Amino acid sequence: MSEKDKKTFVLSDQSVNSYGFWVETEGIDLSEFASNPLMFYGHDWTALPIGRWENVRKEGERLLAEAVFDEDDEFAQMIARKVEKGMLKCCSIGFEVLESSEDKEKIKTGQRYATVTKSKLKECSICPIGSNKNAVRLIAKGGKRVLLSNAWDAKESGLKLLTIEKEKKMTTEEEKILALNQSVACQKKENDSLALQVKELQEYKQKAEEEKKQRRASEIESLIALAVEKGKIGAQKKKEWAQLLDKDFETAKAVLGSMEEKKQSLHELLETKKIAQEEDIASKSWRELDKEGKLWGLKEKDPESFKAKYRQEFGTEYIG
């Protein structure tokens, strides 16, 4: 990938995310990430990485990096194409909270949890939906991922729910309702994101299976053609061997490979040519045969096939 093809992403920017906290850029520890700048899709750590991040740097309040996708991975290249087309624009950092603060000077409008003042960046994923301009994924000590689908999960990361009593005017019941509403909204975003990932993966799997099927059909055709050419099987056995190869490819291929080659006699060569001609005629329509001047030869050699093609073309029986 050339320099001009690399895409710059904003990994983090100190915005208050939809979960109700923000991450201080200055306090993000990049030492571990710099030695292994992993890129996943949708924080799926069970899958292999789809690329890496280069030129990770801090510019003011923003943490920036260039995305480099694995050119030998078909799924990674599919994600790269969607990024190139502007269909995927979000990335999401996975990090561990080291320190947080409830200092009023670090509290922004709409904030519900303590500010993350020190953290350790673990990975960054391409994702379809972000919690703000950049999504986040918290990682608790010990490497466990913290899914912020509801307010209580944040406790595992060490983040505290803000309790500034003088500025707090909501009742406990109102707080519960607000937390529930925010939980539902976060869960919906996560469900939508997962549904999109499942759909894309299903489409990718279906395409891969279709391509594999086409490659296998082409290989079977080549193997049979070579076997006929070398006299291992007769032309009349092509259909039978195609079925065997389709059912158990490796076994049938091994059997074909072990068969001795033999030169065809003149009779066998003529028979093979005859079968090929008959297959060619059987596959063509009345009009195609008429253009090639083969209709009347077919009438003499195979009257029934001639009548059948006449019936298919004109919708009536041939009288003559």
pLDDT tens for residues 246-263? 889 899 888 888 887 765
Mean pLDDT (whole number) for 83-109: 89
Q: How many domains does the chain have?
A: 1
Q: How confident is the model at residue 278 (pLDDT cuts 50, 70, 90)?
A: low
Mean pLDDT (whole number) for 18-32: 91
Residue 274's pLDDT is 57
Query: What one-letter code names the amino acid at 127?
Result: C
Q: How confident is the model at residue 58 (pLDDT cuts 50, 70, 90)?
A: very high
Residue 167's pLDDT is 46
Beta partners for 136?
93
Q: Are 121 and 38 in contact (CB under 8 A)?
A: no
- Going by the DSSP 8-state scheme, the letter that residue 4 receives in this structure is G
* Residue 221 within any structural domain of the chain: no
* Residue 106 within any structural domain of the chain: yes
* Residue 34 within any structural domain of the chain: yes
* Residue 152 within any structural domain of the chain: yes
274-300 b/e with 16+ CB inside 10 Å = b? eeeeeeebeebebeebeeeebbeebbe
Residue 266's pLDDT is 53
Whether pTM exceeds 0.75: no
- Residue 153: give the domain boundaries: 3-168
Residue 318's pLDDT is 82
Portion of the chain with pLDDT greater than 70, in percent:
80
Residue 316's pLDDT is 87
Q: Are 111 and 149 in contact (CB under 8 A)?
A: no
* Residue 261 within any structural domain of the chain: no
Q: How confident is the model at residue 70 (pLDDT cuts 50, 70, 90)?
A: very high
Mean pLDDT (whole number) for 215-226: 89
* Residue 33 within any structural domain of the chain: yes
Q: Angle at Cα 237 formed by Cα 231 and Cα 242, nearest 5°?
A: 105
Q: Which of 18-32, 48-62, 90-104, 131-145 has the lowest mean pLDDT?
A: 131-145
| Total number of residues shown for the chain | 320
* Residue 216 within any structural domain of the chain: no
* Residue 54 within any structural domain of the chain: yes
The pLDDT of residue 165 is above 50: no
Mean pLDDT (whole number) for 116-136: 76
